[in-house]
Structure 1
Amino acid sequence: MTDGTGTAETRPAQGTPGEVFAAFFKLGLTSFGGPIAHLGYFRDELVIRRGWLSDHAYGDLVALCQFLPGPASSQVGFALGMMRAGWLGALAAFAAFTLPSALVLLVFAMSAASISGSLGTGALDGLKIVAVAIVAQAVWGMAKNLCPDRERAAIAVGAVVMLAFLPGVFGMAGAILLGAVAGLALGRGSGVPVGGHVAMPVSRGGAAAAITAFFALLVLLPLLAGQSQGLAVIDSFYRAGALVFGGGHVVLPLLQAGVVAPGWVTSDQFLAGYGAAQAVPGPLFTFAAYLGAVLEPQPNGVAGAVIALLSVFLPGFLILIGVLPFWDRFRAMPQARSLMQGANAAVVGILGAALYSPVFTSAIGDLRDFALALACFVLLMAWRTPPWMVVLIAAAGGMGLALIA
């Protein structure tokens, strides 16, 4: 519907949390293909079929969530649940969309250690190898969309150079910051502003509290992390969720720096879980449930999975709540669009660096491994094979290579 000025306006909350849970549980079971595909599923189910909001209002909401750090599709789902049934609707949407894949990955984490024999280890090797193809596809697609000119391509390369000399979370945060500054200097307000209006039941006071909590946790958690392993885990996953720009795959290097670098998770465990995460529907951020379950030392298992999952999603939801009342004014600023263009270009470089290390260096041991990775890449890019099917093919290929060896 439209308001008196003709701009797109959302409908008031008119559903129930149970209705929201049912709709998003269906989506959580069937939404394969990553965040961009999820947004298409949301549109088909909630805009076209159920008519919860107008196409214009949906597009406006998507623009907001793609602008912010965090898991864009889950943020859109959270906001749609809020629009439909208030705060309980937002929580219902998050839980229903997240639970199916999180539970599958938790079961995989609890059973992966018991996998043995050449076929079992071969299948796990195949999951590590397919991660090379999937991350390469993500880098390729993001580079075309986010680095379409020489200025932004240079920002992406600069991010790789920075990580070569300053690896880890601080290097990534610095690369994003410098990319944003470069975008502000070079972008000159380029980009087309989006019209319309997003209405949410969030007061300015509530938004201010959410923004304050977002930054307070980002600053305080590293200071408290040394007091217990539980706080260190929360800090690691919260920081990863807070610094993700440009799509779910970007969480890969941030999580790797947070859990592999300190020795909580091995590189083999990390890549096997990342490959398995491609075979399940729902948000890629549920990879955190797998990592939380396999962490050493404790907390791990079910408790570790819950802590990691909530910690990685929390910052994206806090920043979303925090900007809702101010979004219309902020996004109209050309400087804001230029800043984000630069930050997104730096993200492409960060993911490109992760494609080399740890993904390629940990998964590819010889030419046969590379051949399997290349075949998976061609299936994804040229044959448009669904990622979950490519994951199964890679696991079978890994078993075949193990038998040959």
Structure 2
Amino acid sequence: MTDLRRPPGTPGEVFVAFLQLGLTSFGGPVAHLGYFREALVVRRKWLSEQAYADVVALCQFLPGPASSQVGMALGLQRAGYLGMLAAWVAFTLPSAVALALFAYAVVEIGDLSDAGWIIGLKAAAVAVVAQAVLGMASSLAPDRKRATVAGAAAIAALLIAGPWAQVAIIAVAGVIGLLWLRREASSEKTSQEAAFDVQVPRPVALSALAAFAVLLIALPLVVDGALFEIFYSAGALVFGGGHVVLPLLESQTVSTGLVGHDEFLAGYGAAQAVPGPLFTFAAYLGALIDGVPGVIIAICAIFLPAALLVLGALPFWQSLRHLPKARAALMGVNAGVVGLLAAALYDPVFTDGITSARTLAVAIAAFVLLTRWAAPPWAVVLGSAAVGFVLL
């Protein structure tokens, strides 16, 4: 294993590599993983194919932004703890800055409800989320049992409001997977080859897990509704990546009056047009709520759980990943994620984004471009904003 005291690379090397990825990685978390593989496994040969697959599997299991967590783990492997920090900062910075600046533009514009380009962005968000639902369903709910779990999760999410309801849905989906999907989990093969080669000392891992749990439990009791608590909870409780954080953030910011519906969906649409992790949507919301301090607090808070979980989980993953029960529970969780995303597609994305025949037409055109012409999401979103500016 790689000793973190003598890493093979440097934080500067990691920063440069991930800044390039942060400037060019369009297309969401699945696309990000492809960019990572090409840049770091194929070209730079920082690690083997099997080691890369191993860390991707771990980060799919954890709540939080999967691609950012993979980036953190790769930075950790290459250059130790400073490498982990460098990977996160470099990959996150470009989109966070872009979305924060967009928030200031939104504030200057004022009332957004009648702006055609904003209407176009909201319509494009419908197509992007619909594509995500279909893509995730094809891989995470491909059979009758998992499709049933996904459907039940969607129904529950539509009927039961609140972020904690979604956490409960995910937990129940995991239990159902554990009890009902054991045969499917047992049929999956897991590689016995070398795992991801980073050694995090057990005391460090246990401290990280303890910090994760203490903050998750204590923050709502001590500073409920504070900016750090809102974004830390969102980052800690989301399975399935950036799109699934939407309903949690919506309930914590729009429903509480911190951000308007139009501003929220405009920012979500704009987030599709920038590279890097979708969790940097937090920078946009933080800027609207409290300016530059809000950006810093929101970004640090929403990504902190991901960093703590990566540090805490690495020592235990090698043994856990081979257990059929763990894989069965993960199958249930992933199917539940599909259901939550499907519910979010309806409310708030569709209900606020489709307000006329013209907005539906924009959404349909965007969906066809994304799914059949393989157009990059950033181009589709910018095109939808342009169409909205001219026609809506």
TM-score exceeds 0.5: yes
What is the match of residue 377 of structure 1?
A: 367
1:199 to partner: Cα distance: 2.5
What is the match of residue 51 of structure 1?
A: 45
CA distance in structure 1 between the aligned counterparts of 2:391 and 2:221, rounded to whole angstroms = 46
Q: TM-score, normalised by structure 1?
A: 0.92
Report Cα offsets for 1:124-166 as digits up to 9, x if no partner: 1111111000000000101111111111111111112222332
What is the match of residue 172 of structure 2?
A: 178
1:106 to partner: Cα distance: 0.7
Whether the 8 Å contact between 2:235 and 2:303 is mirrored in structure 1 is: yes
CA distance in structure 2 between the aligned counterparts of 1:103 and 1:143, rounded to whole angstroms = 32
1:118 to partner: Cα distance: 9.7
Quick check: 1:88 aligned with 2:82? yes
What is the match of residue 26 of structure 1?
A: 20
Q: How does 1:236-247 map to 2 (within 5 A)?
A: 236-247=230-241
Alignment root-mean-square deviation, CA: 1.8
Corresponding letter in the other structure for 1:133: A
Corresponding letter in the other structure for 2:106: A
Report Cα offsets for 1:249-299 as digits up to 9, x if no partner: 11111111221111111111111001101111111110100011112xxxx
1:68 to partner: Cα distance: 1.1
The one of 350, 355, 360 aligned to 2:345:
355
CA distance in structure 2 between the aligned counterparts of 1:329 and 1:374, rounded to whole angstroms = 46
The one of 321, 346, 354 aligned to 1:364:
354
Number of matched pairs = 387
1:233 to partner: Cα distance: 1.5
C-alpha spacing 1:162/1:113, structure 2 compared with 1 (3 Å): same
Whether the 8 Å contact between 1:242 and 1:315 is mirrored in structure 2 is: yes
Report Cα offsets for 1:311-367 as digits up to 9, x if no partner: 111111111111111111111110000001001111111111110000011111111
Structure 1 runs (4+) deviating above 4 angstroms are 9-12, 116-120
3-state SS of 1:113 partner = helix
Report Cα offsets for 1:23-61 as digits up to 9, x if no partner: 111111111111111111111111111111111211111
1:240 to partner: Cα distance: 1.1
What is the match of residue 321 of structure 1?
A: 311
Query: Identity percentage over the alignment?
Result: 55
Whether the 8 Å contact between 1:179 and 1:345 is mirrored in structure 2 is: yes
Q: How does 1:166-315 map to 2 (within 5 A)?
A: 166-188=160-182, 190=185, 191-195=188-192, 196-226=194-224, 232-295=226-289, 300-315=290-305
The one of 391, 400, 405 aligned to 2:390:
400
CA distance in structure 2 between the aligned counterparts of 1:234 and 1:116, rounded to whole angstroms = 26
Report Cα offsets for 1:92-126 as digits up to 9, x if no partner: 11101110110011110011122379998111111
CA distance in structure 2 between the aligned counterparts of 1:136 and 1:323, rounded to whole angstroms = 32
Corresponding letter in the other structure for 2:19: F
3-state SS of 2:108 partner = coil
C-alpha spacing 1:111/1:213, structure 2 compared with 1 (3 Å): same
Which runs of no fewer than 5 residues in structure 2 stay unpaired?
none
1:10 to partner: Cα distance: 9.9
1:85 to partner: Cα distance: 0.9
1:400 to partner: Cα distance: 2.3
Whether the 8 Å contact between 1:118 and 1:399 is mirrored in structure 2 is: no
Whether the 8 Å contact between 2:140 and 2:146 is mirrored in structure 1 is: yes
Corresponding letter in the other structure for 1:192: K
Q: How does 1:70-219 map to 2 (within 5 A)?
A: 70-115=64-109, 121-188=115-182, 190=185, 191-195=188-192, 196-219=194-217
Corresponding letter in the other structure for 2:203: G
Corresponding letter in the other structure for 1:399: F
3-state SS of 2:198 partner = coil
3-state SS of 1:178 partner = helix
C-alpha spacing 1:151/1:117, structure 2 compared with 1 (3 Å): closer
Corresponding letter in the other structure for 2:126: V
3-state SS of 1:360 partner = helix
Which runs of no fewer than 5 residues in structure 1 stay unpaired?
4-8
